[in-house]
Amino acid sequence: MLLLLVAYGWLFVYFERLNNPNELVRVYAARSLAEHGSWLIGRRELRGGRFVDEGPIDSEWGYVNDKALTCDDPRARPPACAGRLFAAKAPAASLLGAPVLAVLRLFGPVQKTAAVLVLRWVLVILPSVAFWILLRRWMIDHFIVEGFRFDQLMTDDEALEAFIRKAGIGVWHATCTCRMGADDDPMAVTDNQGRVRGVSGLRVVDASLFPCVPCANTNFPTLMTAEKISDMMLAQ
């Protein structure tokens, strides 16, 4: 955890190429809000036959990706048009970041690295730490373990069982409770044709038969299992 904190909260900030455009374009928008009170972070212009992104932030901080372009000419289609550039992101993080950068400006021109570093700490790391220390346990006790205490569930088996009986619910993709498997598999209930071991004339053919949970939704695999086993039965 400490390593992650040092890497994300300090070291990586100094390696430009590691900066995620997703985050960076929000920082650009926050700076634009702090300095110009505008969401506009630059313009795309035609220069020497090619389109170039420009503006005060671009010229100081360099190119950033993940922008949205609105063409000046309503008949033109982005990205090949001159027009206004915005962050193609939900605005809340930039809105929250703007007052932070406004304060940072009091100490001089805002550098890109400093802006990323400060916003990471103020908007991501410190709130996460506060949540972890102050709110996490309280939320677990009040909204998840309901009527028990988290410590109690970790130390008292009876309380844990009572909690599981009270709070356990079905899931959408329940599978594998009656699974097929090889002859030497002690956990396999059926053979590879769905025949229940030790009971003649009985097959299981549904999602419970899956040997493992598929990395997909389960409806089609259930139908495919049924098709496959009915083919086997008809062939016999």
Residue among 59, 111, 219, 230 that touches ligand FAD (CB under 6 A)? 219
Q: Which is nearer to ligand FAD, 3 or 216 (CB)?
A: 216
Can residue 218 be called a binding residue for ligand FAD (CB under 6 A)? yes
Residue among 59, 65, 128, 217 that touches ligand FAD (CB under 6 A)? 217
Residue among 206, 211, 228, 232 that touches ligand FAD (CB under 6 A)? 206
Question: CB 168 → ligand FAD: shortest distance, Å?
Answer: 15
- Which segment (21-29, 81-89, 118-126, 213-221) binds ligand FAD by CB under 6 A? 213-221
HSE-CB for 163 with a 13 A CA cutoff:
19
Can residue 204 be called a binding residue for ligand FAD (CB under 6 A)? no
Question: CB 42 → ligand FAD: shortest distance, Å?
Answer: 43
DSSP string, the chain: -HHHHHHHHTGGGG-GGGS-HHHHHHHHHHHHHHHHS-S--EEEEEETTEEEEESHHHHHH---SSEEEEESSTTS-TTSS-EEEEE-S-SHHHHHHHHHHHHHHTTSSPPHHHHHHHHIIIIIIHHHHHIIIIIHHHHIIIIISTTS-HHHHHH-HHHHHHHHHHH----TT---TT-B--TT-TT-SB-TTSBBTT-TT-B--SGGG-SS--SS-SHHHHHHHHHHHHHHHHH-
Structure tokens at 70: 């609105």
Give the per-residue contact string, 172-191, with ligand FAD (x = CB under 6 A; - = no): xx------------------
Residue among 84, 115, 222, 229 that touches ligand FAD (CB under 6 A)? 222
Can residue 32 be called a binding residue for ligand FAD (CB under 6 A)? no
- Which segment (68-76, 104-112, 156-164, 219-227) binds ligand FAD by CB under 6 A? 219-227
State the residues that interact with ligand FAD by CB under 6 A: 172-173, 206-207, 217-220, 222
